[in-house]
Amino acid sequence: MSAPSYRSAAATPGVAKASPLVIYGAQRDIGGQSQQFTIIGYDVFGGLGGPEHIVRGRAIEAPHFELVADNKLGLTLGDKALFGTHYYTVVGITHGAVDSGGNPIVYLSLPDAQEVQFQQDNRALVAARSANIKRLERAGYSSEQVSRLLPLLSSPGDTVNAVLIKLAPGADANAVAGNIRDWLYFNVYTTGEERTLMLEGRLSKMSAVLGLFRVLLIIVSIVIIALIIYVLTIEKIKSIATLKLIGAPNWVIVRLIMEQSLALTFASFAAAYGLRELIVPGFPRTLVFLPQETAITFLVMLGGGVLASLMAIWHALRTPPQLALGG
Amino acid sequence: MPPVLEVDNVSMTFGQGELAVQALKPTTFNVEGGELAALLGPSGSGKSTLLLAISLILEPTTGRIALNGREVYNNGPTGIDVRAYRRQNIGFIFQQHNLIPFLTARENVALVMQINGTGRRDAPRRATELLGYLEIAHRAESLPANLSGGEQQRVAIGRALANEPRLVLADEPTAALDTERGIKVMAMLRKIARERQSAVIAVTHDHRMIEGFDTVYRLDDGRLARMLLNNREPASIAS
């Protein structure tokens, strides 16, 4: 939508403030490596949509050439990043400012973000300009008219992706949304609708994909643990036969195997958890592990560990005690 | 006092009909407390089968078995808990010691005590005392792999004695040992029999050790065929 349309939204009854926002994905060389991130351009002079969790430095205060970046990008205060033809100085660092895909966010002023998004290189600009001139001349415009009309045909740099709205106290969100929808013909989402859209859309699909991988990994882990426990039990079959021969009840043998299996499960979960804690901070994307998901994974692994020992227990219980006799 | 072990017409037949094989013919003998008895015989003669029958690991086909005067088998199960019967009344000693390799000597002995209900605190203390009795307490913390064959066998004897059984069954206890260590183990078995008034029955091929037994039974083709007397009269024998 065109940038000025935020003014129409601001004039809607019940709206306290409206701000234009630009948001798009980008990939640039930062710190010597190609990194994926999302650029957000916002009105740095009191507009909505700016960085909220600045852990070092400050927010953008100048209209141009300053940026605030998430710490995942590895930038530090005072660093300069080249986007297009300009260098932008890092004035603030956020923590946990990521898009729905977990990519870090870079905040720029609105005009800077628009420029980075729409800027063309010189050859492209010259080619577009000459094409527009030819088109206007073919249409019969004079040189003077062409000079006047040409800026109107230049790059569509003054567009925004969204307008953020802050409601006036007591305003009904649904009523305001309805007004904007009916009179300005924009799609409108309340905060709740936007959250649902994100959670049920992209995030739920990503979560489902990750969940599938997790289930597959757990199954593979359980199979591996089952095989290890089975092999360890086969190795100890004479000891098991001895225990049976001297009169150990079955529960003693079951407990020994189960303890072994659970110890292995605990160890593998602890190793995976430790590895995750070690790797995740350095991972280019922000990954969120909910405590309840970790707990469920642990419980599933625990159940898997018990399941993994069943084959070994079955074999152990069928072992004849007389196997302990002889050489 | 009744004999520790009474075996009366116990036989064992494997298979049925034309395929039936009588591995142990009807056998009768008693072993008293303090007696050290040997079961001698070639491979396949029925020695191990007799041990398995006495310990009710294999159910005899016919006959009666009593331990300390209590009938544990009489032509069929008498309703006793067979594993508890073994755990509480019989100590086993094996040819290859069969110690649990990932447990120390003390833990190997204590485990059997714990299985029989001794507390987690008492069992290690009592296991250490028992290892002291067998003169191996100084190796209590060693894993079986770090013990010599003789030391392993002493720990295995300790395990067999863990629950103070009246009957000790030994399967080739000296076969894996050299003569010197074999003699020491025999002396230990004799000491156990005498001091604890336990009945000890050892299956053996080891003719070097025959002199150490009070009674020697010989099994041939499942028949307790001969009896060699050593130092004293046996309780009884018939076959």
pLDDT at B237: 38
Which chain B residues touch A238 with a CB distance below 8 Å?
A: 96, 98
CB-CB contact of B200 with B32 (8 Å): no
Q: Which residue type is seen at A322?
A: Q
A248 interfaces chain B, CB cutoff of 8 Å = yes
Which chain B residues touch A321 with a CB distance below 8 Å?
A: 57
pLDDT at A146: 83
Nearest residue of B to residue A241, measured between CA atoms: B98
Provide mean pLDDT across the span B224-235: 55
What tens digit of pLDDT does each residue of A114-154 get? 988 887 777 777 888 888 888 888 888 888 888 888 777 76
From B9's Cα to the closest Cα of chain A, the distance in A is: 22
C-beta atoms of A325 and B55 within 8 A: no
Report the residue of B52, B58, B72, B83 to disrupt the A interface, i.e. the one with the largest count of A CBs within 10 Å.
Answer: B83
A86 burial via Cβ count (<10 Å: 0-12, 13-18, 19+): middle
Q: What string of H, E and C letters represents the secondary structure of A93-135?
A: EECCCECCCCCEEEEEEHHHHHHHHHCCCHHHHHHHHHHHHHH
Task: Confirm or reject CATH 3.40.50.300 for domain B5-237, answering yes or no.
Answer: yes
A237 interfaces chain B, CB cutoff of 8 Å = no
A243 interfaces chain B, CB cutoff of 8 Å = yes
Provide mean pLDDT across the span B152-156: 90
- pLDDT reading at B231 higher than 60: no
| Overall size of chain B counted in residues | 239
- pLDDT reading at B236 higher than 60: no
Q: Percent of chain B, pLDDT > 90?
A: 37
Nearest residue of B to residue A235, measured between CA atoms: B101
Distance between the two ends of chain B, CA-based, in angstroms?
24
* Residues 6+ positions from A169 with CB-CB distance below 8 Å: A16
CB-CB contact of A313 with A254 (8 Å): yes
Going by pLDDT thresholds of 50, 70 and 90, the confidence category of residue B149 is confident
pLDDT at A221: 85
pLDDT at A17: 94
Provide mean pLDDT across the span A68-94: 92
pLDDT at B200: 93
- Give domain limits for chain B: 5-237
A246 interfaces chain B, CB cutoff of 8 Å = yes
From B81's Cα to the closest Cα of chain A, the distance in A is: 10
A326 interfaces chain B, CB cutoff of 8 Å = yes
A323 interfaces chain B, CB cutoff of 8 Å = no
What tens digit of pLDDT does each residue of A160-203 get? 899 999 999 999 999 999 999 998 889 999 888 888 888 887 77
Provide mean pLDDT across the span B132-161: 91
pLDDT at B225: 64
Provide mean pLDDT across the span A23-52: 91
pLDDT at B238: 36
From A100's Cα to the closest Cα of chain B, the distance in A is: 51
pLDDT at A226: 85
pLDDT, averaged across chain A: 88
Q: What is the dihedral of CA B96, B98, B100, B105, to 10 degrees?
A: -70
Report the residue of A232, A240, A245 to disrupt the B interface, i.e. the one with the largest count of B CBs within 10 Å.
Answer: A245
Residue scoring higher pLDDT (A281 or A20): A20
pLDDT at B174: 82
Q: Which residue type is seen at A213?
A: F
- pLDDT reading at A321 higher than 70: yes
Residue scoring higher pLDDT (B233 or A241): A241
* Residues 6+ positions from A263 with CB-CB distance below 8 Å: none
pLDDT at B226: 56
Of the partner residues A236, A248, A327, the one whose CB lies closest to the CB of residue B96: A327
Provide mean pLDDT across the span B171-192: 83
- pLDDT reading at B58 higher than 50: yes
C-beta atoms of B88 and A247 within 8 A: yes
Interface A–B counts its CB contacts (< 8 A) at 64
From A321's Cα to the closest Cα of chain B, the distance in A is: 7
Which chain A residues touch B98 with a CB distance below 8 Å?
A: 238-239, 242, 324
Going by pLDDT thresholds of 50, 70 and 90, the confidence category of residue B169 is very high
What tens digit of pLDDT does each residue of B62-89 get? 999 999 889 999 998 888 888 889 999 9
pLDDT at B227: 63
From B149's Cα to the closest Cα of chain A, the distance in A is: 14
From B102's Cα to the closest Cα of chain A, the distance in A is: 10
What tens digit of pLDDT does each residue of A212-233 get? 998 898 888 888 888 888 898 8
CA atoms of A200 and A116, how far apart (whole Å): 31
What tens digit of pLDDT does each residue of B24-44 get? 999 999 999 999 998 888 888
CA atoms of B15 and A319, how far apart (whole Å): 20
pLDDT at A274: 94
Going by pLDDT thresholds of 50, 70 and 90, the confidence category of residue B235 is very low
From B135's Cα to the closest Cα of chain A, the distance in A is: 23
What tens digit of pLDDT does each residue of A237-265 get? 988 999 998 888 899 899 988 988 889 88
Report the residue of A236, A246, A319 to disrupt the B interface, i.e. the one with the largest count of B CBs within 10 Å.
Answer: A246
CB-CB contact of B94 with B153 (8 Å): no
Provide mean pLDDT across the span A17-39: 91
C-beta atoms of A239 and B101 within 8 A: yes
pLDDT at B234: 44
Provide mean pLDDT across the span A284-290: 81
From A308's Cα to the closest Cα of chain B, the distance in A is: 22
pLDDT, averaged across chain B: 86
Which chain A residues touch B159 with a CB distance below 8 Å?
A: 246
- pLDDT reading at A285 higher than 60: yes
Going by pLDDT thresholds of 50, 70 and 90, the confidence category of residue A75 is very high
Of the partner residues B57, B95, B100, the one whose CB lies closest to the CB of residue A326: B95
**pTM exceeds 0.80:** no
A239 interfaces chain B, CB cutoff of 8 Å = yes
pLDDT at A6: 87
pLDDT at A138: 87
